[in-house]
Amino acid sequence: MRQPSEPIFNVPAVVTATIAVLCIVHIAFEYLLPPDLARRLFYTLAFVPARYDSTPLPYGGYYGGLGAAIWTFVTYAFLHGSWTHLGFNAVWLLAFGTPIARRFGIVRFLMFFAVTAAGGALAHLVVYSGENVPMVGASAAISGFMAAAIRFAFQRGGPLRLIGNNQDDAYRVPALPLLAVLRDMRVLIFLGVWFGLNLLFGIGSIGLDGAEQPIAWQAHIGGFLAGLIGFAAFDPIKSPQLGDSGGPDQKATIH
């Protein structure tokens, strides 16, 4: 009897659904909503550091009131400045959201998305306190997924140690503790390159569509650190302790 073939793209449903929601939101803002309503809704959902400034605003403040001061820590991640911006994030979400969804499951995946998005917004707020330029995009949450993935991807039997391995077990190998991960030279190299690129983009104001859309690299770093540190709180797989057996191959990696 002929065995069924494996699908070329085996993407978890929650990742596909997340990308679909991002696309639907962008289509609504670009083509469906009246301009005035789109503008009001945009400022109700986007993250604006000036919203948290204690100085009274002459025009009465931003749309959304107190509620928006809470939900925009997450909702900004569902907005994008252009199709190019959305396309880049969709590709990276496929790459790094997939292993996290397979390991965490739907509920933990969505909660982790929210927490890392909030971590990125918090880092952006610290640096740009009082600024009235809105921040949008899922990059901070994706950076958090990247950080979480390195905690187990390089492990023995993990998805990066067995090229082409698409088995569920590869995404459920035990992750090493954070301190052990940070002693892995592969992780340190990855960290150096990743942080260096983000600093380069920030210093050079390089945007996806030119100078009009500079990259919010501080939010990337905030999301990354939230994912790297917060991974253990969401991970359903018991991790070995530093003293456990396993040998030098039992290492993890960054973000």
Residues 6+ apart with CB under 8 A from 178: 151, 228, 229, 231, 232
Give a yes or no: residue 248 inside a domain. Answer: no
Give a yes or no: residue 6 inside a domain. Answer: no
State the pLDDT at residue 166. Answer: 56
pLDDT band at 157 (very low <50, low <70, confident <90, very high): low
User: Does residue 64 register a pLDDT over 60?
Assistant: yes
Residue corresponding to tokens 């990276």: 92
pLDDT band at 158 (very low <50, low <70, confident <90, very high): low
State the pLDDT at residue 246. Answer: 40
Q: Which of 3-17, 18-32, 97-111 has the lowest mean pLDDT?
A: 3-17
Neighbours of 236 (CB within 10 A): 9
For residue 103, give both structure tokens.
């390991």
Give a yes or no: residue 174 inside a domain. Answer: yes
- Per-residue pLDDT reduced to its tens digit, 176-224: 788 877 887 877 887 888 777 776 665 544 444 444 456 778 899 999 9
Q: Which residue has the higher pLDDT, 63 or 166?
A: 63
211: helix, strand or coil: strand
**Phi, psi angle pair for 210, to nearest 5°:** 90, -160
CATH number for the domain including 117?
A: 1.20.1540.10
State the pLDDT at residue 242. Answer: 46
- Per-residue pLDDT reduced to its tens digit, 46-56: 999 988 876 65
User: Does residue 136 register a pLDDT over 70?
Assistant: yes
User: Does residue 156 register a pLDDT over 70?
Assistant: no
What's the whole-number mean pLDDT along residues 126-143? Answer: 91
Number of structural domains found in the chain: 1
Q: Which amino acid is at 221?
A: I
d(CA 65, CA 77): 19
User: Does residue 3 register a pLDDT over 60?
Assistant: no
pLDDT band at 4 (very low <50, low <70, confident <90, very high): very low
- Per-residue pLDDT reduced to its tens digit, 220-244: 999 999 999 999 999 998 765 544 4
Give me the half-sphere count of Cα atoms (radius 13 Å) on the Cβ side of residue 125: 20
User: Does residue 95 register a pLDDT over 70?
Assistant: yes
- Per-residue pLDDT reduced to its tens digit, 18-28: 999 999 999 99
The residue among 197, 66, 181 whose CA lies nearest residue 139 is 197
| Helix (H) or strand (E) run with residue 135 in it | none
Q: Which residue has the higher pLDDT, 163 or 254?
A: 163
Give a yes or no: residue 254 inside a domain. Answer: no
Give a yes or no: residue 88 inside a domain. Answer: yes
User: Does residue 165 register a pLDDT over 70?
Assistant: no
Give a yes or no: residue 18 inside a domain. Answer: yes
Q: What are the beta bridge partners of residue 210?
A: 208
Residues 6+ apart with CB under 8 A from 238: 174
Mean pLDDT of the chain: 80
Structural domain containing residue 18: 13-234
Give a yes or no: residue 247 inside a domain. Answer: no
pLDDT band at 252 (very low <50, low <70, confident <90, very high): very low
Give a yes or no: residue 2 inside a domain. Answer: no
The answer to whether the predicted template modeling score (pTM) of the entire model surpasses 0.85 is: no
- Per-residue pLDDT reduced to its tens digit, 205-215: 444 444 445 67
37: helix, strand or coil: helix
